[in-house]
Amino acid sequence: MSRAGRLIRPDGPVDYDAANAAMHGLAEARLAGTVEDSLILLEHPPVFTAGRRWKPDHIVWTQDRIRAAGAELRFIDRGGSLTFHGPGQLIGYPVLDLGSTPDALRFVRNLEEVLIRSAAEIGIDLHRSDVQTGVWSGERKVAAIGVRLMRMRVSLHGFALNCTTDLSWYDAIVPCGLAEEGVTSLSELAGREVSVQQMAPIVARRFEEVFDLRLQTQEREWPTHPASTVAASAS
Amino acid sequence: MHVKMPQLGETVIEGTILKWLKAEGDQVALDEPLFEISTDKVDTEVPSSAAGVLTKILVPEGSTVAVGTELAEIAEAGVVAAAATPGESSPGSSVRPGAGAGDEPPAPSSAAPVAISVPAGTAASTPTGVPVDRGSRSQILSPLVRKLAAEHGVDLANVVGTGTGGRITKNDILAFVGRAPTAAAAAPSAAPVLTAPAPAATTPGAVPAASIAAGVGEEVVAMSHIRQAIAKHMYGSVQSTARAWTMVEVNVEQLVQLRARAKDAFLAKYGVNLTYLPFVVRATVDALHEFPNVNARLDGENIVLHRYVNMGIAVSYDAGLIVPVIKGADGMNSVGLARAIADLAARARAHQLKPDEVQGATFTITNPGPYGSIASVPIINTPNTGIISLDAITRRAVVIGDAIAIRSMVNISMSWDHRVIDGELATRFLARVKENLETWDFGGDLGV
């Protein structure tokens, strides 16, 4: 019998800071036991995020150039180094209670599994790397994964799956600190457009399957954090 | 007890210490985040499995060690010790006074979300279940109260009056109506005497308000841990200080003109925007050296004077309010202060401050001016004894000699702890800040 959870699927791009704050709030609530497990699926406006393991030489462009290109740079609390989020990329933030003895590695492998099964459903064969987290096609990465556990228990951050992402954004950084490997997207691999809208329900379904959850879509607007209104009106 | 590298999965054999969230000598509460580790792409906060004092850190940040490796030692203590904050609410705690210039101040931060014990001041009014003598005037009721009671079907014999002589007021009725279901459910057979819940038993926000169920048109939002820490700290300050307030009016015409002239060259040369805040910090630092009792904290029956200035700057960000600290602000000119403020504020908003960067303020400045306020009464950032508010600079008509002129003016005010500072000192201190801002030539300080 699978457990009940909720799917949070905001319409349109959500400002990074607003989503990040609301995700942390949701994790606090999960920790307090006042909400069930959640999966947030959304898109962000262009933003580069640097996890705790970032190094200055992982940023190729200057911060001014990044801003001039219409993106932001954020330093955040997840694992991993630098990555890009933007239009055409399906972001998944699972906020799950992993229990008092969490298996962090298994959690990450499960996220990879969700994305591998999702891509297989549209006929694209992806795989894991022996050494690097993420989901790959050959030597090129299709989805990045970076996670943090709040109080060694509740998951934060998650995965970013390139669907129709403009890959030239990655020129600004050394993604995940890996100089050799490249990045690609589902659309590039399929030779046709594979959109975020198309992938979101597939990923949600595969997520339910892998994590043995039954997701109920939350109808209420998210995030309700006031910052989102400000960001929405500014953009 | 020994703190060990936890196992984050069957196949995980090692982990890297990313960051210690506590320093040696710090109090640690049960389940409080103690350190952060990284394994592959997963970072995790590890909560403490014991309460006590972190006596020794055995593995430094950046080291990768096997699962099970001893990382630190915690000397377990009683529950009481774990909740106390030295220098703030536990007079018996020993805090080393007289740290030299440049030393890290021994007091823990007030701005960091540390445990702050809050006096349970409000619970005493009506002890549970004890009949209250309502006094002779208790049955004198206003028509409004009678009408309200009738409307809500309230038996006045069950309501405790808080008005003069035990009179039942409108608010007593409304409070009773709001709380009635809880009171009835808790003690169905006992006399339903209205009692305020003890603050300790309610939300960590420590605001002793009654819980009233949300109605139509209301939304319940849980407080984040940062919001709770702010609530505790602010309420604790109001409860534990004798706050008084003084304001001066400062003519900043010269500063406004200087900034207009210099701001473009300043940005080009130093890469940060020139605001008024560095000037005010600089002027305040000078005044703090002249009046050391304002740059102090109370420790039991001693006043600890700081021979250095660590300036706390209140910064609002998405999660609430945080007070990053410019360490050694008295060693910086206006350029250094401008850079330090820009850096700390940017990293505060990016959630990127290190724990020691929000600790050890000796004095604090808050800057609501950009939002348009012309006078503010801030709450003291304990254990500081004073906090300055810089409000909005406005063009005003002022009398100069026998003429009326238009000048850029600003109100600078200070909330101060009357246990340490008296009115004369507070006013002379603010007058010095004013004099510095009105008479100093900051142009030479900017190098542009």
pLDDT of residue B124: 35
| Domains of chain A listed by start with CATH number | 3-234 (3.30.930.10)
Q: Say if B68 is an interface residue toward chain A (CB within 8 Å).
A: no
> What is the structure's pLDDT at B138?
44
Q: For chain A, which residues lie within 8 Å of any Cβ of chain B, measuring from their own Cβ? A: 17-18, 21, 24-25, 28-29, 32, 34, 51-53, 74-80, 101-108, 133-134, 145-152, 224-225, 227
Contacts of A76 in chain B (CB under 8 A): 350-351
What are the respective helix, strand and coil percentages of chain B, to the nearest 5? 30, 25, 45
pLDDT at B185: 38
Tell me which chain B residue has its CA closest to the CA of residue A102: B8
Peptide bond into B292 cis (omega under 30): no
The reply to whether residue A79 touches residue B352, judged by beta carbons under 8 angstroms, is no
- Is A148 close to B44, i.e. CB distance below 8 A? yes
Predicted confidence at residue A53, as pLDDT, reads 75
CA distance B104 to chain A (A): 26
Query: Which CA distances in Å does B271 have to A37, A62, B145, B276, B340?
Result: 44, 13, 64, 16, 12
User: How does pLDDT run along chain B (448 residues), one tens digit per residue?
Assistant: 889 888 877 767 788 888 899 988 888 888 888 999 887 667 888 988 888 899 999 998 888 888 888 999 998 864 433 333 333 433 333 333 333 333 333 333 333 333 333 333 333 333 333 333 434 444 556 666 776 777 777 777 677 776 655 667 777 777 777 654 433 333 333 333 333 333 333 344 445 556 777 777 888 888 887 788 889 899 999 999 999 999 999 999 999 999 999 999 999 999 999 999 999 999 999 999 999 999 999 988 899 999 999 999 999 888 788 899 999 999 999 999 999 999 999 988 888 887 778 889 999 999 999 889 999 999 999 999 999 999 999 999 999 888 999 999 999 999 999 999 999 999 999 999 999 999 998 988 898 8
Q: Using an 8 Å CB-CB cutoff, list chain A residues near B31.
A: 151
Mutation for B interface: A105, A145, A156, A228, most B CBs within 10 A: A105
Distance from CA of A186 to the nearest CA of B (A): 22
Residues A80, B41: C-beta atoms closer than 8 Å: yes
Q: Among B291, B264, B252, which Cα is nearest to B392's?
A: B252
Contact B11 A105 (CB under 8 A): yes
Does residue B370 have a cis peptide bond before it, meaning omega lies within 30 degrees of 0? no
Catalytic residue among A116, A144, A176, A231: A176
Helix (H, G, I), strand (E, B) or coil at B196: coil
The yes/no answer to whether this complex scores an ipTM above 0.95 is no
Put simply, whether B268 touches A (Cβ < 8 Å) is no
CA-based R_g, chain B, Å: 27
Q: What is the dihedral of CA A73, B355, B235, A227, to 10 degrees?
A: 10
Residue A192's pLDDT is 95
Would the CB atoms of A146 and B41 count as touching at under 8 Å?
A: yes
Nearest-angstrom CA–CA distance, B121 and A1: 50
Report d(CA B415, CA B238) in Å as an integer.
Answer: 11
8-47 in chain B: CB under 8 A from chain A:
8-12, 18, 31, 33, 36, 38-47
Q: Within 10 Å of residue A171's Cβ, how many Cβ atoms?
A: 10
**Taking CB atoms and an 8 Å cutoff, what residues of chain B touch A134?**
41
- B395 burial (CB, 10 Å; 0-12 / 13-18 / 19+) is exposed
- Among A169, A4, A77, A8, smallest CA distance to B19 is for A77
Distance CA B191, CA B155 (A): 12
Minimal C-alpha gap between A101 and chain B (Å): 7
Q: Do B224 and A102 touch (CB under 8 A)?
A: no
State which residue of chain A sits closest to B320, comparing Cα positions.
A21
Q: Is the C-alpha dihedral spanning B136, B138, B141, B147 positive or negative? A: negative
Residue in chain A closest to B8 (alpha carbons) equals: A103
pLDDT tens digits for range A4-45: 999 999 988 999 999 999 999 999 999 988 999 999 999 999
Amino acid at B426: A
Measured distance CA(A77)–CA(A42) in Å, rounded:
19
Chain B residues close to A52, C-beta within 8 Å: 18, 36, 38, 43
Does the distance separating the beta carbons of B222 and A28 come in below 8 Å?
A: yes
Mutate which of B43, B224, B228, B349 to test chain A, going by most A C-beta atoms within 10 A?
A: B43
The predicted model scores a pTM of 0.47
Q: What are the residue numbers of the active site of B?
A: 418, 422
Rounded to the nearest angstrom, the minimum Cα separation between A51 and chain B is 9
Chain A residues with CB under 8 Å of B272 CB are: none
The backbone torsions φ and ψ at residue B267, rounded to the nearest 5 degrees and listed phi first, read -65, -45
Tokens encoding B288:
């703090």
B225 touches chain A (CB under 8 A): yes
User: Is there a contact between A28 and B224 if contact means CB atoms under 8 Å apart?
Assistant: yes
| Contact yes or no for B40 and A75 at CB 8 A | no
Question: In whole angstroms, what is the distance from residue B13 CA to residue B400 CA?
Answer: 76
Task: Show residues of chain B in contact with A107, CB under 8 Å.
Answer: 9, 42
B104 and B55 Cβ atoms separated by less than 8 Å: no
How far apart (Å, rounded) are the C-alpha atoms in residues A223 and A201? Answer: 20
A161-208 pLDDT per residue, tens: 999 999 999 988 887 667 667 899 999 999 999 999 999 999 999 999
The secondary structure element, H or E, covering residue A232 is helix A226-234
DSSP letter for each residue of A4-37 = EEEEE--SS---HHHHHHHHHHHHHHHHHTSS-E
Per-residue pLDDT, B165: 57
Of A178, A167, A179, A177, the closest CA to residue A56 belongs to A177
The length of chain B, given as a count of residues: 448
Q: Phi-psi bin for B263: left (phi > 0), alpha (psi -120 to 50), beta? A: alpha
Q: Which of residues 340-399 of B touch A (CB under 8 A)?
A: 347, 350-352
List the alpha helices (DSSP H) in B187-224: none
Domains along chain B with CATH numbers: 1-130 (2.40.50.100), 134-222 (4.10.320.10), 228-446 (3.30.559.10)
Closest residue in chain B to residue A101, using alpha carbons only: B8
Q: B43 contacts in A (CB within 8 Å)?
A: 51-52, 77-79, 147-149
Chain A residues within an 8 Å CB radius of B222: 25, 28-29, 32, 34
Q: Does B151 touch chain A (CB under 8 A)?
A: no
Contacts of A106 in chain B (CB under 8 A): 9-11
pLDDT for B111 equals: 38
Here the tokens at position B72 are 């630190």
Q: How many CB atoms lie within 10 A of CB A80?
A: 28
- Report the residue of chain A nearest B30, measured CA to CA: A151
Find residue B43's DSSP bridge partners.
Answer: A148, B38
- Residues of chain A with C-beta less than 8 angstroms from the C-beta of B225: 28
